[in-house]
């Protein structure tokens, strides 16, 4: 069983491509994942070295361990603004699935044999079928809710989408459960994350009874 800190490291590894030194190749200028056991921080490889060093000092002196939800965002933004203005800030909880293997769902796995089911609402997700497991709830030969993971390592992050006219019907619970069960059957960790202002996504996490292991911050 991975610790909260190890789960956050897994999350960072899944979410963003990194070089051998652990610097971000894709993603925000700085990523901060806070847990009760410590913080996981990643800096973009294009970030000015002096700025990066100043940010590391700000992060290390912040009271993450005592109050992991308390963020000294103002000071971080002030430091980043010395290089160029911060464009946006993303923040939200991070979760891990409990063992859901063997749970029954209505979701079906999408493969090249039935990929036409995605055509109406999820045609831009065709390529994900080649990357990792894709599951969907199907109504009248049309996929109306979908969960997949476009990036996979030793862990995988759920990417969830439900067509507008089919929301509020618990389809998201079925597709995410089916997806997570397959990830776990592969011996990997199934993760889920969302933004603080995405209340519907947080509601899905609550209904799935996911375990929150930390909070992430991204400064772009």
Tell me the whole-structure pTM to 2 decimals: 0.92
pLDDT at residue 183 tops 90: yes
Average pLDDT, the chain: 93
CA–CA separation, 88 and 111 (whole Å): 36
Both 125 and 65 in a single domain? no
Both 8 and 87 in a single domain? yes
- Contacts of residue 5, Cβ cutoff 8 Å, sequence gap at least 6: 35, 37, 38, 40
Structure tokens that stand for 116 in this block: 């036409």
> For 198, what's the count of Cα atoms within 13 Å in the CB-facing half-sphere?
16
Helix axes 199-207, 171-185, angle to 10 degrees: 60
Residue 175 lies in a domain: yes
CA–CA separation, 143 and 135 (whole Å): 9
Which residue, among 178, 169, 177, has the nearest Cα to 109 in the 3D structure? Answer: 178
Both 141 and 182 in a single domain? yes
Residue 217 lies in a domain: no
Q: What is the pLDDT of residue 63?
A: 67
Q: What is the pLDDT of residue 176?
A: 97
Of 68, 96, 124, the last residue of a domain is: 96
C-alpha R_g of the chain:
18
User: For 188-195, what is the mean pLDDT?
Assistant: 96
Exposed / middle / buried, residue 26 (Cβ in 10 Å: 0-12, 13-18, 19+): exposed
What b/e string do you get for 76-114 counting C-beta neighbours within 10 Å, with b at 16 or more? beebbeeeeebeeeebbbbbbbeebeeeebbbbebeeee
pLDDT at residue 75 tops 80: yes
Domain that holds residue 60: 4-96
Domain count of the chain?
Answer: 2
User: For 177-182, what is the mean pLDDT?
Assistant: 98
User: What's the CATH code of the domain at 169?
Assistant: 3.40.630.30
pLDDT at residue 68 tops 60: no
Residue 219 lies in a domain: no
Both 194 and 151 in a single domain? yes
CA–CA separation, 183 and 190 (whole Å): 6
Exposed / middle / buried, residue 31 (Cβ in 10 Å: 0-12, 13-18, 19+): buried
> Can you name the residues that pair with 89 across neighbouring β-strands?
219
Reported confidence tier of residue 139, pLDDT bands at 50, 70, 90 = very high
């Amino acid at each position: 069983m991975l610790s909260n800190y190890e789960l956050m490291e897994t999350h960072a590894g899944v979410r963003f491509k990194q070089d051998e030194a652990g610097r971000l190749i894709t993603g925000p200028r700085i990523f901060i994942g806070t847990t009760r056991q410590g913080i996981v921080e990643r800096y973009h490889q294009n970030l000015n070295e002096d700025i990066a060093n100043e940010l590391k000092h700000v992060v290390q002196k912040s009271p993450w361990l005592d109050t992991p939800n308390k963020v000294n965002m103002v000071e971080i933004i002030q430091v980043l603004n010395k290089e160029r203005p911060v464009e946006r800030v993303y923040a939200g909880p991070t979760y891990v699935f409990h063992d859901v293997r063997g749970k029954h769902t209505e979701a079906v796995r999408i493969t090249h044999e039935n990929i036409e089911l995605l055509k109406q609402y999820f045609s831009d997700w065709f390529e994900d079928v080649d990357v990792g497991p894709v599951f969907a709830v199907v109504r009248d030969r049309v996929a109306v809710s979908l969960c997949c993971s476009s990036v996979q390592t030793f862990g995988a992050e759920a990417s969830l989408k439900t067509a507008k006219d089919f929301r509020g019907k618990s389809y998201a619970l079925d597709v995410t459960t089916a997806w997570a069960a397959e990830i776990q059957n592969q011996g990997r960790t199934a993760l889920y994350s969302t933004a603080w202002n995405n209340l519907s996504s947080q509601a899905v996490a609550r209904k799935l009874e996911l375990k929150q292991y930390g909070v992430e911050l991204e400064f772009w």
